[in-house]
Structure 1
């Protein structure tokens, strides 16, 4: 009885409230990444654990290894285990692993913990965006996605500040413990929320309908949590995984979008690491970390929301998303190029800020394409493989490549200009996407019974749930 009451109380959340919860989770996860990259925390870890430069580089990429392992795993399990339970399992793993980082006394132990941090976060990264996309108002889908993805730059910037303050006052270990504790309520929420599936994942016999709006997919808690049954069917899961990946990469719009996104993240990943160093070495900015952190927060907030709002005004179609992506990437590259050519520091900051606004405006549209160019059951896998692709080919190698290029050119400005030219390639790739044959599959559902059902809010606030079966 108590269990049913907790489910009832916690399930009284509207889609807007769920968006707020997901944004807070996203912010905290990226605070962790910003914190460990902050100069005070990073230096303290290196000194305390006596790590070499090479080991420090390995530590920065260990998180990505966890993402690569976890994203396809959780996306595949979405076919058998309900969404909130998977998020709860992943965030619980995240909490224990982040706390484990604070308890680590060797390079090996902290690296293993960072891998597990990435694995745990993969559940949320793969499943949250499809959930938001399904329940956002039809005229505001890209805006909602933009708000969600704004939390990435905001979280990283907040993590830099948090790491600097807490790391200096209480030490780097306390910084990890604080972030871990902040996530605990959200991990528990994943287990307490009423069991819910993403669209097209629950068996028809277990779909329960409510009064008016979108629909909710429910399963009994014992079935939802029976992960052991999923494990017993490893062979079929493996086959389905390979089949899903094959279908994804036969979708031309998806491939073009991911190629552009890889190039985009190659540039953004390098900027996030090297831009403050360029500001210090080229423009003699002593407080470059603070300046670029502030630019990232403001431009990230305005750009992501504005990009989603503009695409919603244009009509959120795949073709319009490609048009917006190619235009924003091209203009952003021009402003970045002009910024690094400028000799005046104030002119540089203005031009660079405009470029940041433009590139952050792409977060909503690029993920909308990944969600809408595939059928509903493939959306978690679509985002999972997107994450894998940009980690392997974008974020991870960018800082190392730029390091090698800088050593070769021995000139920060030339290195920055060469890096910026990659953004022109991203714009060209997305421009080709406009002419690729594509079909918006957002409403596609192989089970025709769903189209005949009355649709209600995914998570009701006041309306009483009415369990009915649809007429054949």
Structure 2
């Protein structure tokens, strides 16, 4: 039966303006990543129990000291969070086709709030590990669904900038978490840091149910209504739902540009994830930073804000197309790798801080462009799943193994400088994936010796593949037309130009 799209038109909720949506989502994202920074801070993470040669033993501090964790087990706590995130992300993305995505975010934030409080009352390694998994489950709904909402409602000429503002909250939140965890954990105890996070998130969990929901581009309001009215029919067709899910996964895997983008993002996130978890501890060890949480947090805030906003605005100025996004991704990641690697080669702390800050600015410039590519290489109905599978991939192959592997490496070599240099080298791999193809002339001109190492590994790369922006393709179901009462640009910019 044909559906008249005009019959599906409905006004936006009274609370809604694009800027309000962006602000709310940014605050939620900030709290999510404050949690990531807090558990990595010296004040919360603490130090393991140790004994001197004379036999005098200390109790250690924080989570490591209370639960007597070595570096490997400590790294597992970071990965436990990701397990919940990875399992739940594709589930929430699939449910978005039958349950309003805005309500799913409310469910996820409620789980997150309860799990964060659970971390504060945990009694041993396994109890806090389970709570960290549930925190990941709670975050999964938001991570999968927030970016498509923002991209739907951002001014055309500033879509990447709006995504950049949203993803700027990742490094900023982690950095604030370092400071927050250091202050709260060091003064009144690490458990209270988790209680504070739960209190901060609780109002947003409530709002997820109290506010009238928005609808997402590519998702049919009529289809949702049918599923709600016929739940017995819908839930009895589990096999059909699984079949549809695998069809959508196959469609994503056939998008070469999307796959290349995610491969580069995996290598990139392998480093960023380990940096965010082990950074304060490594800085404290290598450069004897007595205030490592604050210093590392400050570098991450400045690098994250300047880099994420700068990269996003530059892409908009270049004209936000997929080829331009790959040029920016490969260039900034390569030079960011050079500066970060060089920083760890110096023993002077001040030289390290300057070089590492420049490197952080460059590597964080990827945040807007990489997610722009994820959203624009698939048709609208697949965007929640594309974000979910990108999240799953970058974590399951990126920062899930990187944190415990770096912890294991450090247990073996007992030298944080060596561990940091080995880790940072992976940035060159990320740059290579986003840039190279099996063409010797391009390799010799662009990346020289480094890229030659990668030439035999990849048949194609993002810059050289033909790319098509799928944003305006017809979705599989007709969706509602949302009236946007306030779609004025958040940032001043040049007039919008049509995509090629």
Q: TM-score, normalised by structure 2?
A: 0.81
- Bigger shift: 416-425 or 228-237? 228-237
8 Å Cα contact 1:98-1:114 kept in structure 2? yes
Within 1, Cα distance between the matches of 2:71 and 2:415? 22
8 Å Cα contact 1:280-1:288 kept in structure 2? yes
- Bigger shift: 383-392 or 362-371? 383-392
Within 2, Cα distance between the matches of 1:316 and 1:183? 33
* 1:77 matches 2:95: yes
Residues 227 and 25 from structure 1, CA distance in 2 versus in 1: closer, same or farther, beyond 3 angstroms?
Answer: farther
Within 2, Cα distance between the matches of 1:136 and 1:332? 29
CA displacement 1:306-355 (0-9 Å, x = unmatched): 11100000011111000000110111112123222334332221111111
Q: How far off its partner does 1:36 sit?
A: 2.1
Indicate which of 220, 234, 238 corresponds to 2:238.
Answer: 234
Within 2, Cα distance between the matches of 1:414 and 1:107? 28
Match of 2:406 in 1: 402
* 1:18 matches 2:21: yes
1:321-400 to 2 correspondences below 5 Å = 321-400=325-404
Within 2, Cα distance between the matches of 1:290 and 1:225? 53
* 1:148 matches 2:177: no
CA displacement 1:205-236 (0-9 Å, x = unmatched): 57xxxxxxxxxxxx76x976987775443222
Residues 224 and 13 from structure 1, CA distance in 2 versus in 1: closer, same or farther, beyond 3 angstroms?
Answer: farther
* 1:294 matches 2:312: no
CA RMSD of aligned residues (A): 2.8
8 Å Cα contact 1:130-1:371 kept in structure 2? yes
* 1:308 matches 2:335: no
Within 2, Cα distance between the matches of 1:55 and 1:448? 47
Residues 17 and 227 from structure 1, CA distance in 2 versus in 1: closer, same or farther, beyond 3 angstroms?
Answer: farther
* 1:440 matches 2:444: no
Q: How far off its partner does 1:382 sit?
A: 0.6
Indicate which of 22, 35, 38 corresponds to 2:38.
Answer: 35
Match of 2:110 in 1: 92
1:439-458 to 2 correspondences below 5 Å = 439-446=468-475, 456-457=483-484
Within 2, Cα distance between the matches of 1:262 and 1:456? 37
Match of 2:119 in 1: 101
CA displacement 1:85-125 (0-9 Å, x = unmatched): 11011111111221222233343332222211111110000
* 1:178 matches 2:210: no
Q: How far off its partner does 1:390 sit?
A: 1.1
Match of 1:213 in 2: none
8 Å Cα contact 2:39-2:181 kept in structure 1? yes
* Count of residue pairs the alignment pairs up: 439
Q: How far off its partner does 1:448 sit?
A: 9.4
Match of 2:205 in 1: 187
Within 2, Cα distance between the matches of 1:384 and 1:332? 27
8 Å Cα contact 1:81-1:227 kept in structure 2? no
8 Å Cα contact 1:85-1:225 kept in structure 2? no
Within 1, Cα distance between the matches of 2:369 and 2:339? 20
Query: What is the SS of the residue equivalent to 1:139?
Result: helix
Q: How far off its partner does 1:9 sit?
A: 11
Residues 224 and 159 from structure 1, CA distance in 2 versus in 1: closer, same or farther, beyond 3 angstroms?
Answer: farther
Within 2, Cα distance between the matches of 1:110 and 1:275? 22
Residues 458 and 264 from structure 1, CA distance in 2 versus in 1: closer, same or farther, beyond 3 angstroms?
Answer: farther
Q: How far off its partner does 1:194 sit?
A: 2.0
